[in-house]
Structure 1
Amino acid sequence: MSSLAAAVSWGRRHIPDAAVPAVTRARLTRARKNQDRLARAHREMEFLLGGACTPAEVDRAAERYVERDILRSELRWHPNLITFQEVEGVEHLVAARKRGRGVVISFLHHGHYEGAVASVCRADRPLLVVVSPEMLAPDAPEFLKQHVRTGTVSGGRPLDATVGAKGMLKALHDGNVLAIASDVPGRTPIRFLGVDRLGSFGAARLAAGAGCPVVSMTAHPDADGKPYLRLSEPLEPGDFASPDDLLLEMVQLQEAPALAWPEAYHQPTLRWGAVQPASSAAAS
């Protein structure tokens, strides 16, 4: 990391928590004059909402997305502001753990997910969260290192995705709670918010393979815009005809929260793949 990048990172980390709103407002004033940034925000919200909302609703979501994106980029440096999120439904996670077979927590990159796992750890007990290997690399960008610091501040531990399904299944068989996102680049067709997308089958496949319950974690804003989390009642893989049906239920539980708070979905174009039309696929 360059000396300039190190200085910037140090400065952002040492801004007082109370000053974050003022810093965000100052950055937002500049961002609203940046046409490239506004266009990127519109592309993100069009990608997410184009199958479920009107163009006017997409426009309004894009305006809010710019502000939320700036706030997110500041809050990751201030763990105290996002790792104490209220967690509704902790009793569902506790009940799932008591079944003694490990637990999968399914989530999307929605809300202030950077502090979500740490918040659940505070509400219950430390757990494992699957992360991409570049987040743990010695030469990772400083913002990714900070993401890991924030996510593990309350005792949670990252699990490198390169351990593969075998390593993750072992973690579940050992009785661990394993948090894993379903909106990561993959080849599994998933219909989400009225659009056919490509996501990951990992969480559903792991739960089915380990025979362990799934608890969905969703993100919501309260009346003042403060984020909180909600954990669903456990889903038992055996209650579904196939892992595909389990995955469908897991994703459908996320639709209403994402639609209600779309600007809090972080870079959906990065999370989901787009299904190519048959004619395009054949041409390639």
Structure 2
Amino acid sequence: MNDVTPSMRLRSAVPDALVPAVVGARLLAKRNKPGPLARAREEMEFLLGTVAPDRVEEAARAYVVRDVMRSEMRYHPRLICRQEVQNLASLTAARATGRGVVVSFLHHGHYEGASAALAAADRPLGIVVSPDMLGPAAPTFLKQHVRAGTSTGNQPIDAGLGGKHLGGLLARGECLAIATDVPGSSVIEFLGEKRLGSSGAARLAAATNSLVVTMHAHCESDGRLWLSLGDAVEPRDFEDAEDLLRHLVQTQEEHVLAWPEGYHQPRLRWGVPQE
């Protein structure tokens, strides 16, 4: 399912201590190429254009750096898979109830390492992943993404198995990490703009009466990565799955604004409603 390729072995063989030097060399090579910065501006304009337009340029430059760091650090799980987790007690208590638990997250921060960090701090869980991330035909970077995310015992769960299968796991009391920012048909406001997202995770939680814990990514000025968890919420405390989805997205906004360049390809995650 996730065979190690020669390229993966080669990049993983670089000592962790030399990763900053590799990142620096790659950034130097990009310095005179307009493409990376132009693409980064598009990503940050999409994300910040309405709520913080004055921050787009600075965030775009930081995004270029983070993008290179992301592509290297996934080959060095020790750098991203042992992040400190604040309010871990929220997840531990939710799992102790014996009910299903949905860990709701965005593609913000080093999210493959984030799920691994949860397993290291608590115990393994299932990570719902796109079918194209599994199997021998998966691109090398996606294979490594899965490899890092499962390095502390997590189990990848193929989203292609469908809601019935995922709901069955939750009904049995399993804990599943599910991204909230995936393409869908639900119109929701995020950072001042209407976007199209998926209510799939919220609907699964509501249908199985599973607790929901949000996971948030953070990065300090010195580069230290860490995570925080929200308090568990009850699906029945919301009018419907769409109302729960709005809550899950809104709780992420302040954390994304605090570290916008940490959001990986936001244009890929959200659709734009047709006028």
Query: TM-score, normalised to structure 1's length?
Result: 0.93
Aligned-partner SS, 1:110: coil
Q: Provide the residue aligned with 1:229 in structure 2.
A: 227
Give the C-alpha shift of residue 98 in structure 1: 2.0
Q: Provide the residue aligned with 1:179 in structure 2.
A: 177
Which deviations, in whole Å up to 9, do the C-alpha atoms of 1:186-205 show, x marking residues without a partner?
11112100011111111110
CA distance in 2, matches of 1:17, 1:225: 15
CA distance in 1, matches of 2:9, 2:119: 26
Q: Which runs of 5+ in 1 are unaligned?
A: 1-5, 278-284
Q: Provide the residue aligned with 1:28 in structure 2.
A: 27
Q: Provide the residue aligned with 1:62 in structure 2.
A: 60
CA distance in 2, matches of 1:226, 1:276: 40
Q: 2:198 aligns with which of 197, 200, 203?
A: 200
Give the C-alpha shift of residue 7 in structure 1: 4.7
Q: 2:118 aligns with which of 106, 116, 120?
A: 120
Amino acid across the alignment from 2:152: S
Whether contact under 8 Å (1:32, 1:38) holds in the other structure is: no
Whether contact under 8 Å (2:186, 2:242) holds in the other structure is: no
Give the C-alpha shift of residue 8 in structure 1: 3.8
Amino acid across the alignment from 2:12: R
Q: Provide the residue aligned with 1:281 in structure 2.
A: none
Amino acid across the alignment from 1:87: V
Q: Does 1:107 align with 2:105?
A: yes
Q: Provide the residue aligned with 2:254 in structure 1.
A: 256
Q: Does 1:273 align with 2:274?
A: no
Which deviations, in whole Å up to 9, do the C-alpha atoms of 1:123-142 show, x marking residues without a partner?
10000010000101211111
Equivalences, count: 272
Whether contact under 8 Å (2:8, 2:144) holds in the other structure is: no
CA distance in 2, matches of 1:181, 1:265: 13
CA distance in 2, matches of 1:50, 1:136: 35
Whether contact under 8 Å (2:16, 2:79) holds in the other structure is: yes
Q: Provide the residue aligned with 2:44 in structure 1.
A: 45
Whether contact under 8 Å (1:111, 1:219) holds in the other structure is: yes
CA distance in 1, matches of 2:254, 2:119: 25
Q: Which runs of 5+ in 2 are unaligned?
A: none
Query: TM-score, normalised to structure 2's length?
Result: 0.96
* Worse overlay, 9-18 or 120-129: 9-18
CA distance in 1, matches of 2:179, 2:260: 17
Aligned-partner SS, 1:137: coil
Q: Provide the residue aligned with 1:129 in structure 2.
A: 127
Amino acid across the alignment from 2:50: G
Q: Provide the residue aligned with 2:84 in structure 1.
A: 86
CA distance in 1, matches of 2:30, 2:274: 33
* Percent of aligned pairs with the same amino acid: 55
Amino acid across the alignment from 2:113: G
Amino acid across the alignment from 1:109: H
Amino acid across the alignment from 2:144: Q
Q: 2:71 aligns with which of 55, 70, 73?
A: 73
Which deviations, in whole Å up to 9, do the C-alpha atoms of 1:143-183 show, x marking residues without a partner?
11111110000000000001111001101011110100011
Which deviations, in whole Å up to 9, do the C-alpha atoms of 1:49-72 show, x marking residues without a partner?
112112x31011000000000000
Whether contact under 8 Å (2:59, 2:260) holds in the other structure is: yes
CA distance in 2, matches of 1:223, 1:141: 32
Q: Provide the residue aligned with 1:11 in structure 2.
A: 10
Q: Provide the residue aligned with 2:165 in structure 1.
A: 167
